[in-house]
A and B are shown apart, each in its own frame.
Chain A
């Protein structure tokens, strides 16, 4: 089902909200955000929304994790990012990118996997990605 850009953007925002919320619950394991994203994927599939879920989830994960790194660095006014960069011999922005990539790939994959449980839609974005 074709859907409006607004819905697409809404899904993106919901994905971000889910990642942030599960992140802020400190007692949950580090990967806990993949569970609600997976369920969101199931929901999207149920509604047969035509969304590139891997990309949507991936971008949400990337921006949330990478953005949160920068946000906390600013909020705490801390040198920790620079110091860990030195320990791992990389620039601090590389750490932000690595963090973003980990968040992104897991979020994208979780959302995508959710849509495949019942597989009602014909969403091929990951397959296309792999083939290219």
Chain B
């Protein structure tokens, strides 16, 4: 018998050591052995084999019966199943196959669980603030509510099963790239994770608020000046709800400083810049058959959201005996969120109402009680365990009152001293079931079905636009809006008084809505929901310019078809500029200007107020207006708590009507300035900046509006940067660097619905795939795809490119 030679142990142990070393993550790198292995590692994520496979049979998935998924040339899955259960199962399965890492990751972001993936301590802070805001808790409460509703529970559970069937079948080679890079694995999907994704969207849309800023401003300015600079309504509005008659509601016009709001109540001189973007909004409009060439209604929608790769949207068609619906879904949640079926189409824009309020609390030293109506009430507390990668879990204690969580307290003061020991009352934290709205909308056949669907919608408040092929059109400002006394929620509230609590919501049948108006069109673009005749006080972060422009275009034009609608949806005109520029020019005498400046003014005069990427005048107007603003509002920006300026229309009205208003007078100068001088000064400043831009980036608008569509990890290789873009927040095409029309959709109903759409992304969430970002270039050029709505399974089979059969 041969003898084993012990000297082999030397190379053998080196071999084992190397294998161990290459299996270990070091220096922020994934385990290189696995990662660089060409048969299993990252290179395999370049494969589109599955998605391109002409006919793929996937067995033993655990689906009840079966489902067939047809892919068209753009890789939109068209799911056909014999039951709703199988349909949602297949939606879960195919969504996971396209977007697993994205949906999984966002559920961590929403829940405050990033410390489980990343080791940097900054993530612990993020997780703590997220838990303290309470999204995870709110999702858990919503889950309890949803578990009592059999329709939603079935849809969610089947979707979850589908996602998990996909995860179960994964091996390392097929694992999405980000898991390989960040060196972790997908966890099992759950209904809670789906709920977290909807709450995350709600967070983006309803997270913005200015309570502390408005409080400071009201205290500093007093009622008269406050209303002048920060009016409830600026008189340049085209409200969502047309044809409202009724008594004037003075609180919607002017707000009087509430009695409790004085320096003995609050003396904070701090401020904070909200992390939320108040301009995230959207456009949606609908015209009935009177205004179209076909005689059938056309509905348009483009939700303006943060642009990301992978996109927030996934296009999908869902077909079973109960429904046949096409549109975009949020990866990680069942059903279609914005879309159409054979009978109806619907769109959504953000309602922009304020539903997030802070209460100043009187909390005892030891955090055991707080004061309410002179009595001591026990402060509730609960513990949140934040698990951490490679470290011991962190347990956070979170206190809460009847209002909501005390987000910032002595153990978590670092972010924002101004709101320390304040309770947060946020509608998003209430249990709700928005899924049911979408499940029912997907199947809706008429107006009544639509109304029955949207009544379940609570938060964030949304404008739903609706069209039915019977030519009914409608718009509804839907959601839970608390009934408020005048000014309630606009400023910091007193947490020690029960009169400051909200008692009830505006009844559903009193919410702002319009149906079949005599104008034959309806529109929403985050503008005021009503005129001043609405009986309830409300408050929000409304924008008027886009709505005004849309209104002009819809009013003056007849005979709409999808081509006209495409032009309208990609319109780059800033309606505000069209009013402001003549006013600026009125204020500027050419005396003393040099030749170049005079020729610039000539060019400005012939400008059509467009923000096309190749145009050169938009930048100059922007600079001129910005400088006029800065010079005028120096009184405001001088405050220690400065964070927001009055809106554009306020300054415009001041220029027009009160050229000698004291706000035009600069602080710290001996002479008294009026508007002419300010506008002139702003012109010269803008001119210098414009020349500088010309030397550096270039004055074409596209050079100053470059797309930045980021991957959640911010890795440049997986993101789109530096793509020149047309558009402006005040134009209908609101493309603005990192946010904009995330999905453009135009639907003409009829015997067969015809949809056109495009979103900024691609169907695959895999950065190695050809289908990762292939829609972005055409989207940025304002192109549309004709959407493949298959009426029958036979049609899908004939016209699609490939199929998967789930068994």
**Quick check: is A10 within 8 A (CB to CB) of the other chain?**
no
Q: In the complex, what residues of B have CB within 8 A of residue A126's CB?
A: 11
The reply to whether A23 and B44 contact each other, CB–CB distance below 8 Å, is: no
Q: A88 with B42: in contact, given A34-B19, A99-B36 (CB under 8 Å)? A: no
Is B770 positioned at the interface, with any CB of A under 8 Å from its CB?
yes
User: How many Å lie between the Cα of A78 and that of B316 in the bound state?
Assistant: 25
Contacts of B7 in A (CB 8 A): 116, 119
Indicate if B26 sits at the interface (CB-CB under 8 A): no
Do residues B768 and A116 form an inter-chain contact, with CB atoms below 8 A? no
Chain A residue with Cβ nearest B2: A118
Does A7 touch B at the CB level, under 8 Å?
Answer: no
Given contact pairs A69-B36, A87-B715, A106-B18, enumerate 7 new A-B contacts (beta carbons under 8 Å): A26-B171, A30-B41, A80-B43, A88-B29, A99-B38, A102-B33, A106-B22
**In this complex, what residue of B is CB-closest to A74?**
B46
Q: Mark A20-56, 1 if CB is under 8 A from B, else 0.
A: 1001101100110010000000000000000000000
Q: Determine if B11 and A84 form an interchain contact, defined as CB atoms under 8 angstroms apart.
A: no
CA of A120 to CA of B4 in the docked complex: distance in angstroms? 10
Could you tell me which residues of chain B, from 761 to 807, have a CB within 8 Å of some CB in chain A? Answer: 767-770
CB contact between B34 and one of A30, A68, A95, A117 (< 8 Å): that residue: A30
Tell me how far the C-beta of A17 lies from the nearest C-beta in chain B, rounded to whole angstroms: 13
Tell me whether B5 is interfacial, beta carbon within 8 Å.
yes
- Chain A proximity of B17: nearest CB distance (Å): 10
Contact for A76 among B3, B37, B48, B173, CB less than 8 A:
B48
> Digit string of A61-92 for contact with B (CB within 8 Å is 1, else 0)?
00011001101110011111111111110000
A12 within 8 A of B: no
- Most chain B CB within 10 A, of A68, A88, A117, A120, is at A117
With a cutoff of 8 Å between Cβ atoms, the chain B residues found around residue A88 in the complex are 29
B1-28 near A? 1/0 per residue, CB < 8 Å: 0111101101110110011001100000
Which of B33, B38, B172 is within 8 Å of A72, CB to CB?
B38
Cβ-defined contact, A31 with B19, below 8 A? yes
Q: In the bound complex, do residue B33 and residue A31 qualify as a contact, i.e. CB atoms below 8 Å apart?
A: yes
Alpha-carbon distance between A88 and B30 when the two chains are bound, in angstroms: 11
B8 x A30 contact (CB < 8 A): no
| The 3 A-B residue pairs with the shortest CB-CB distance in the complex, in nearest-first order | A78-B46, A23-B39, A68-B38
Is B47 close to A, CB under 8 A? yes
Contact: A117 with B5, CB < 8 Å? yes
**Choice from B42, B43, B44, B770 contacting A77 with Cβ under 8 Å:** B770
- CA gap between A69 and B37 in the complex, in Å: 8
Q: Is the CB of A116 within 8 A of B5?
A: yes
Q: Could you tell me the distance in whole angstroms from the C-beta of A62 to the nearest C-beta in chain B? A: 12
Task: Choose among A80, A86, A106 the residue that contacts B46 (Cβ–Cβ < 8 A).
Answer: A80
Q: Is the CB of B22 within 8 A of A26?
A: no
User: In the complex, what's the smallest C-beta–C-beta distance from B19 to chain A, in angstroms?
Assistant: 5
Cβ–Cβ contact B717 & A118, under 8 A:
no
B768 touches A80 (CB 8 A): yes
Residues of A within 8 A of B718 (CB): 83, 87
Contact B37 A23, beta carbon cutoff 8 Å: yes
Give Cα distance in the complex from A48 to B522, angstroms: 88
Q: Which residue of the partner chain A has the closest CB to B8? A: A116
* Cα A24 to Cα B23 with chains together (Å): 19
In the complex, the chain B residue whose C-beta lies closest to that of A113 is: B11
Q: List residues of chain B with CB within 8 A of the CB of A82.
A: 717
Report the bound CA distance from A76 to B766 in whole Å: 13
Cβ-defined partner of B14 (8 Å) among A20, A71, A109: A109
List 30 interface pairs A-B (beta carbons < 8 Å), by A numbering: A23-B40, A26-B39, A26-B171, A26-B174, A30-B33, A65-B37, A71-B38, A73-B46, A76-B46, A78-B43, A78-B47, A80-B43, A80-B768, A82-B717, A84-B42, A86-B715, A86-B717, A87-B718, A95-B36, A98-B32, A102-B22, A106-B15, A106-B19, A106-B33, A113-B11, A113-B15, A117-B4, A117-B5, A118-B4, A119-B8
A65 and B717 within 8 A (CB): no
In Å, the complex CA distance between A105 and B45 comes to: 25
> Any chain A CB within 8 A of the CB of B181?
yes
Contacts A76-B48, A80-B768, A102-B22 given; indicate if A65 touches B173 (C-beta within 8 A): no
Q: Which of B3, B19, B39, B767 contacts A24 (CB 8 A)?
A: B39
Q: Is the interface of B mostly helix, strand, loop or mixed?
A: helix
Query: Known: A116-B5, A117-B8. Contact between A87 and B181, CB under 8 A?
Result: yes
Distance (whole angstroms) from the CB of B722 to the closest CB of chain A: 14
A67 (CB) vs chain B CBs: closest residue:
B38
Q: Does B716 contact A (CB under 8 A)?
A: yes
Q: Which residues of A have CB within 8 Å of B41? A: 30, 99
- Chain A residues with CB below 8 A from B43, complex form: 68-69, 72-73, 76, 78, 80-81
Q: Do B767 and A83 touch across chains, with their CB atoms under 8 A apart?
A: yes
Residue of A nearest to B45 (CB): A80
Given A23-B37, A87-B181, do A80 and B42 touch, yes or no (CB 8 Å)?
yes
- Chain A hits for B33, CB < 8 A: 30-31, 102, 106
- Say yes or no: is A59 at the interface (Cβ < 8 Å to chain B): no
State whether the Cβ of A18 lies closer than 8 Å to any Cβ in chain B. no
Interface: A110 (CB within 8 A): yes
Task: Point out the residues of chain B lying under 8 angstroms from A106, CB to CB.
Answer: 15, 18-19, 22, 33
**Inter-chain contact B4/A84, CB cutoff 8 Å:** no
Measured CB to CB, the nearest residue on chain B to A72 is B43
* Distance in angstroms between the alpha carbons of A50 and B12 in the assembled complex: 20
Which of B4, B5, B32, B47 is in CB contact (< 8 Å) with A102?
B32
> What is the CB-to-nearest-CB distance from B287 to chain A, in angstroms, rounded to a whole number?
43
Report chain A residues within 8 Å CB of B181.
87
Q: How far does the alpha carbon of A79 sit from the alpha carbon of B48 in the complex, in Å?
A: 12
CB-nearest residue of chain B to A82: B717
Q: How far is the CB of A65 from chain B (nearest CB, A)?
A: 5
Q: In the bound complex, do residue A26 and residue B11 qualify as a contact, i.e. CB atoms below 8 Å apart?
A: no
> Which of these, B11, B34, B171, B717, contacts A109 with CB under 8 Å?
B11
Alpha-carbon gap, A91 to B2, bound state (A): 49
**Residues on B with beta carbons closer than 8 Å to the beta carbon of A112:** 11
Q: Is the CB of B8 within 8 A of A27?
A: no
Closest B residue by C-beta to A116: B8
CA distance A76 to B47 in the complex (A): 5
Cα–Cα, bound, A118→B12 (Å): 13
Query: Of B10, B39, B171, B768, which contacts A83 at CB under 8 A?
Result: B768
Checking A78, A102, A110, A120 against B15 with a beta-carbon cut-off of 8 angstroms, the contacting residue is: A110
Q: Of B36, B39, B171, which is in contact with the most chain A CB atoms at under 10 Å from its CB?
A: B39
Least Cβ–Cβ distance between B33 and chain A, in angstroms: 5
Q: How far is the CA of A64 from the CA of B49 in the complex (A)?
A: 22
A113 to B177, CA, bound (A): 34
Alpha-carbon distance A112/B49, docked complex (angstroms): 37
Instruction: Tell which of A23, A27, A72, A80 has the most Cβ of chain B within 10 Å.
Output: A80
Residues A79 and B172 in contact in the complex (CB < 8 Å), given A31-B19, A112-B11, A116-B8: no
When the two chains form their complex, are residues B15 and A30 in contact, meaning their CB atoms are under 8 A apart?
no
Docked pose: A71 CA to B2 CA in angstroms: 42
B42 contacts A113, CB within 8 Å? no
Identify which of B5, B18, B39, B47 contacts A119 (C-beta below 8 A): B5
